[in-house]
Amino acid sequence: MTANMPEFIIKASEEWFRRPLIARLDQEGLTSEWYHTTSPDPNDRKVTMGSVLPDTGRNVNGLRNAISFVIESRGLGLGRTHLKRRVHTHVTAIGSLLQSTADRAADLLKLRAYVDNEVSAQACQGDAVVEAAATPSEYSLLMLDPQSGADKRVNVAWDSALELRPLKVRARPCGYWLSAAQSDVVRRLRGLGVVVQRLDEIDELRAQIYQETARELRPDARGSIAEGGGALRVQVKPVPALLEVQAGSYYVPMDQPLANLVLAAMEPDTQNSYVAGRILTRVADEARVMARPAVKMTPLP
């Protein structure tokens, strides 16, 4: 449930996995619902589905063209209360997902190959969603009546992650340039399985550089970031430029299966970018490459 998710991953997730999962839980007499949260403010009655940001294993694995779920059992701070029911719920759910995987093994391999090729082919074409949000709507949620304890359907204000609202859209680049100083960024990208190439020659690239217009510290759910100083939120304006690049700098192509994961990390003005996490130290050390480079490059191992 995050921006730029391939359509067929979403479809397979729903039809091959979630529907059989719900049916299996029903067979065991276990109720289930979309993952959702409420605000810590008691006056805020809005209910929100799970995060639409690339900040969870569920969404990050989706951007790696894999089907991924998060399953949580009802109850917070219950200790061992209803432990058997909660363990049984997870065993049932995980068993269903594993069975679906086994039943669809051949289809999943075909799906992965198709989606990998589809994502790679989108480089230099069309638009990509840089930032999106859940869609405000209304939903009938099963709750407990505080007086009787009986089940009760209540219509609630509901931020739906099933349909996202694009907040920021940009032309999909051919790739991203990184200065030679950004070796830590390169190391992390390679750790995710992203293809990165080192430029062997000086050249000029048709690009968009980022002009930073504002920056601020933002609250982070984890508290203080380990690197110190908190997380950043920057505002940028992409500006067309003919960029002179040096040998030893890097190119991250978008014609690769993990291109949507690359986009989530590289666009600096999002909550979960490498700039926000202080991994990429300056917006001047990256650029959007808008035409495929002709310069000689060496893929990194």
The sheet carrying 36-38 orders its strands as 36-38, 47-49, 151-171, 127-144
**DSSP-derived secondary structure letter, 285:** G
Q: Domain count for the chain, please give it.
A: 2
Can you tell me the distance from the alpha carbon of 87 to that of 194, in angstroms, rounded to the nearest whole number?
37
Same domain membership, residue 147 and residue 33: yes
Same domain membership, residue 198 and residue 257: yes
Same domain membership, residue 158 and residue 11: yes
Rounded to 5 degrees, φ, ψ at 216 are -155, 160
Same domain membership, residue 70 and residue 148: yes
The pLDDT tens digits along the chain (301 residues) read: 999 999 999 999 999 999 999 999 999 999 999 999 988 888 888 999 999 999 999 999 999 999 999 999 887 788 888 899 999 999 999 999 999 999 999 999 999 999 999 999 999 999 999 999 999 999 999 988 888 989 999 999 999 999 999 999 999 999 999 999 999 999 999 999 999 999 999 999 999 999 999 998 876 555 444 445 668 899 999 999 999 999 999 999 999 999 999 999 999 999 899 999 999 989 999 999 999 999 999 999 9
Q: Does the reported pTM lie above 0.85?
A: yes
Q: Which of the listed residues 169, 194, 223 is the one where a domain comes to its end?
A: 169
Q: Which of the listed residues 142, 169, 196 is the one where a domain comes to its end?
A: 169
For residue 2, tell me if it sits in a domain: no
Q: DSSP readout, 233-246?
A: EEEEEEEEEEEEE-
Number of H helices, E strands in the chain: 7, 11
Domain limits for position 224 = 173-299
For residue 181, tell me if it sits in a domain: yes
- By CB atoms closer than 10 A (0-12, 13-18, 19+), residue 33 is exposed
